[in-house]
């Protein structure tokens, strides 16, 4: 199974210029734990609820986010099992997913993977 078979294709995108307080409100109202940061249709970073908690409500996302050299990025055709093992090893809960042109096309998270696993387990019973 490939990442593209399980990933979320609809997701909230943030801008580096978004303000921390506004993003905190968005995270709470949308029950978010993470979001890709996009500028000019390019992935520039990744922000989590913990990043927001550690920052100031007046800070910009670009001051709080993790930059590309600090995050794992996966391709939509990557093997789901390998990505799952990487998540477990690194204790990550989500990764941005890019296509062959490095455009963000989705996010893969532990909840999406657990849905697939739970369906497979219930079918085996």
Strands 66-67, 34-39: pairing is: unpaired
Q: Which two tokens stand for residue 35?
A: 């979001």
Q: What is the pLDDT along the chain (125 residues), one digit of tens a residue?
A: 999 999 999 999 999 999 999 999 999 999 999 999 999 989 999 999 999 998 877 899 999 999 999 999 999 999 999 999 999 999 999 999 999 998 999 999 999 999 998 887 666 54
Quick one: pLDDT at residue 125? 47
Quick one: pLDDT at residue 119? 80
Class of 3-124 in CATH: alpha beta
Q: Enumerate residues 6+ apart whose C-beta is below 8 A from 54.
A: 64
End-to-end Cα, the chain, rounded Å: 21
Q: What is the DSSP letter of 6?
A: T
Strands (E), 1-125: 34-39, 42-48, 66-67, 74-75, 94-98, 104-109
Quick one: pLDDT at residue 57? 79
Average confidence score pLDDT of the chain: 93
């Amino acid at each position: 199974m490939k990442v593209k078979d399980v990933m979320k294709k609809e997701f909230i995108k943030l801008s580096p210029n978004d303000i921390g307080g506004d993003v905190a409100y968005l995270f709470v109202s949308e029950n978010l734990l993470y979001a890709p940061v996009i500028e000019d249709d390019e992935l520039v970073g990744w922000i989590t609820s913990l990043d927001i908690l550690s920052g100031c409500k007046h800070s910009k996302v670009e001051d709080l986010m993790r930059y590309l050299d600090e995050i794992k990025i996966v391709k939509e055709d990557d093997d789901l099992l390998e990505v799952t093992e990487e998540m477990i090893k690194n204790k990550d809960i989500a990764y941005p997913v890019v296509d062959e042109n490095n455009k963000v096309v989705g996010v893969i998270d532990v909840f999406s993977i657990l849905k697939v696993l739970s369906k497979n387990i219930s079918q085996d019973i």
